Structure 1
Amino acid sequence: MTTHDYQFVENLLLRLLSLLLEIFTDSEKGEVQDFIDVGEYGLALDTLVDIVIEENKQIPGESLALVYELADVMQLDKKMFEEKLRGHVTDS
């Protein structure tokens, strides 16, 4: 990935995290933000998804769309995220 790609991924992750401000605790947000801050974007996304699953959180469909976009850009398995997040997405 180019520097532009990394900035694009970071912006997507920050946008995703901002959508979850009311859903995540400060500690959970901080955990994801720490990975973003050091450029560990894959770990940031995995951690975010793991928090949703482990804490049985419901995320908006818009968040799921960003997860899919990140998976595409980062060349990750979109199906894996789809399976992990099944049952954790609200329609609104």
Structure 2
Amino acid sequence: MFEKMQRAFWKALTPDLVAEESKAVVQPVSGLPANVVDALGGVDNLKSQQPVALTRVRVALRDVARMDRQALSVAGVPGVMMLDDGVVHLITGLQP
């Protein structure tokens, strides 16, 4: 019983780390400001985006080379973490 509760808790906190759940593709621009989308290479460069935590957004890009880190910084994204296969985590911080 405790194990099921613990697993449900971790699924709620980190939905993209649980292998048995299918990942839903979210509309590319929902929740992202236009200047952030532009810095990521435009709407056509986004495959999907998903909030991972209160301070992070996971974005899958078609072409990582089109992303402009300096423009992301100017847009208010304090940190960018590059992962494999065109996945980028935008460290957004707690935004009011």
TM-score (norm 1): 0.32
* Larger Rg computed on CA atoms: 2
The structure that is strand-richer by fraction is 2
The one of the two structures with greater contact order (alpha-carbon pairs below 8 A, sep at least 6) is 1
The structure that is helix-richer by fraction is 1
TM-score (norm 2): 0.31
